[in-house]
Amino acid sequence: MPNAYISGTGGYVPPRVVTNDDLVRDYGIDTSDEWIQKRTGIKERRFADAGVGSADLGAEAARIALDDAGLAATDLDMILFATLSPEHHFPGSAVYLQEKLGLCDAGRFIGCMDIRNQCSGFLYALGTAASMVQSGACRHVLVVGGETHSAALDLTTRGRTIATLFGDGAGAVVVSATDEDRGVRYWKMGADGRFADALSQPVWDIRKRPFIPLNEDGVGQVSTEMLWATMDGRKVFRHAVERMCGAVMEACQSTEVFGPDVDLWLFHQANMRINQYVAGQLGIPEDKLVHNIDRYGNTTAATIPLLMAEAARDGRLQRGMKVMCVAFGSGFTWGAALIEW
């Protein structure tokens, strides 16, 4: 059985920087830089311009990851795209990315699959890719986490609890087969569907009749409550801490790789306070954690692959290191993975 290792990483964020002060000044949101920084650690985020979608951001990240791996897009056997903000409700983003990477023109009609697991989506996709490679079914799987949140945020005071948290971006990795003794050593996912409504965007409620109510002029009307995401922030916070700690402890016990043996910790970037709390509970030293929430906000499925790409570029991530990843989010879903780089 081959090992599955990360042969290349790439990250891309759109150029437009939106600071906390910009949310007040340009969007008129009743918030403040002080509130957002103190409660979340976020200083700024990136917003994509109209016309740009998650597959566009993903394509930029994917090209960098492929280049880093020394591969052409045509070498890929599969694309997995983790996102909660796909181009369309269906068919999702992976097929759009395939086309953007030139695979259709090249006659490479490989499998393309979206993974819809929100903040844990990248780790769900990574585990899926590793299994595909280890089984021998694929040699190179492109795994992308990409989000264009800005289009669907209620950028008013009404939506401030959510709108101030999220940003756009994409990260990509190539998961490849190798005979070397390295790669994805462990992954485990979890979910608790009892809390499905605690963080959700119910715009597609297929149980509704009519699905889209029409007014007397025959014009479809969707209420704002349906359009925007809703979140019970405190409940999410509490469960995030508990589940992230639990997922890490289970990973350490299963792999017998304990805290001090881990060289780098990549936590999902939802809130700096969540991560500091988890790190405190587990006794993880500050210098083994990397962050990007201050610059990008919560980029959901993109946070961990963006961290990987940045850490690989700036030398924090070195061959042979043991890297522990952990994420938690809507569903509730969570996951942890241990990678020997």
Which amino acids are annotated catalytic?
Answer: 119, 268, 298
Is residue 271 within the footprint of ligand UT7 (CB under 6 A)? yes
**How many chain residues bind ligand UT7 (CB under 6 A)?**
20
| Rounded-to-integer distance, Cα 55 and Cα 146, Å | 7
List the structure tokens of 232. 């019970």
Residues 307-336 that bind ligand UT7 (CB under 6 A): 329
Residues 159-188 that bind ligand UT7 (CB under 6 A): 160-161, 164
Is residue 122 within the footprint of ligand UT7 (CB under 6 A)? no
Q: What is the number of the residue whose Cβ is closest to ligand UT7? A: 233
Residue 301 and residue 82 in contact, taking contact as beta carbons nearer than 8 Å:
yes
Q: At what angle do helices 272-282 and 33-40 cross, to 10 degrees?
A: 30
Is residue 236 within the footprint of ligand UT7 (CB under 6 A)? yes
Is residue 125 within the footprint of ligand UT7 (CB under 6 A)? no
Residue 24 has φ and ψ, to the nearest 5°, of -75, -50
Between the CA of residue 166 and those of 170, 215, 269, what are the distances in Å? 13, 33, 10
Q: Which of 3, 9, 40, 98 binds ligand UT7 (CB under 6 A)?
A: 40
Select from 49, 42, 15, 24 the least CA-distant residue to 296.
42
Which residues, other chains included, contact 22 with Cβ-Cβ below 8 Å and sequence gap of 6+?
44
Residue 162 and residue 231 in contact, taking contact as beta carbons nearer than 8 Å:
yes
Is residue 19 within the footprint of ligand UT7 (CB under 6 A)? no
Residues 195-224 that bind ligand UT7 (CB under 6 A): 199
Stretch that binds ligand UT7, among 32-40, 56-64, 108-116, 257-265 (CB under 6 A): 32-40
Give residues in contact with ligand UT7 (CB under 6 A): 31, 35-36, 39-40, 119, 160-161, 164, 199, 233-234, 236-237, 240, 270-271, 274, 298, 329
